[in-house]
Amino acid sequence: MVSKEVIVKSSTGLHARPATLLVKKASSFKSDISIEFDEKKANVKSLIGVLSLGVTKNAQIKISASGDDESLALEEIVKLLDSLEE
Residue-wise pLDDT for 11-57, tens only, equals: 999 999 999 999 999 999 999 999 999 999 999 999 999 999 999 99
Domain boundaries, the chain: 2-83
Look up the pTM and report it: 0.93
Phi/psi zone of residue 70: left (φ > 0), alpha (ψ -120 to 50 degrees), beta? alpha
Report d(CA 75, CA 85) in Å as an integer. Answer: 17
Question: Which CATH number is associated with domain 2-83?
Answer: 3.30.1340.10
Give me the active site residues, please: 15
Report d(CA 52, CA 66) in Å as an integer. Answer: 22
